[in-house]
Structure 1
Amino acid sequence: MYVKCCLVKYWWVLLIGVVVKGCLEDERVALLKLKDALNHPNGSSLSSWQPHGHGDCCTWERVECDNSTKRVTHLFLDYIRPYELQWSLDASSFLPFEDLQYLDLSGNYLAGLI
């Protein structure tokens, strides 16, 4: 009975590992929209955030995910935009990140009501 129980757990973990290979699609899309809103006009910041190629946003710079769920848990978006380029924050941009525990937006010269 114990062996059967452990085998079931092993296959369940293996199945989850196969199904959840990278970050969730809605979070990947939300990150790409954030990149468009945040990015410096010359496109130099967040260069690892690419719509094509390596689509696993858990491997992108400034992003951390939960190892088991692959949901984004930490975003380190500090000092992305230079002083001359103020950014009006749209808080709804962060709604797809249901497991977000840490968000750093410091040094981005946010404009408007925060």
Structure 2
Amino acid sequence: MSKFIATIQQGHNADDLREHLAKGLQNIAIESFGKEAANSEVKWKVIPKSFAWTAGKPSRTSALICVVPEDLEFETRAKFMTQINDYWVGQTGANPNELLIFTLNNGY
């Protein structure tokens, strides 16, 4: 099973698309890791407006922490993160610089 923790800014497009984004993340996990990822879960943390700043201005940045299998090879990890980036940016209209993606090994 994969787990995602998504930190998003209140009022950003991602806030309105949570259910849709969660399904897409689950599909990417299944494609990357197989059927055991079918029970992937997404925990959402919504940051209130003006509680996060980037470069001296209110932030629109989202962050995803993805828990992945410990033995994941670099190529698979890179493809997984690229797929998430492309999906998230395509669905939310976010600038690619407004998304941070972290992958942590399951045992970490």
TM-score (norm 2): 0.41
Which structure shows the bigger proportion of residues in helix conformation? 2
The structure number with the bigger radius of gyration is 1
Which structure shows the bigger proportion of residues in strand conformation? 2
Q: Whose RCO is larger (CA < 8 A, sep 6+)?
A: 2
TM-score (norm 1): 0.40
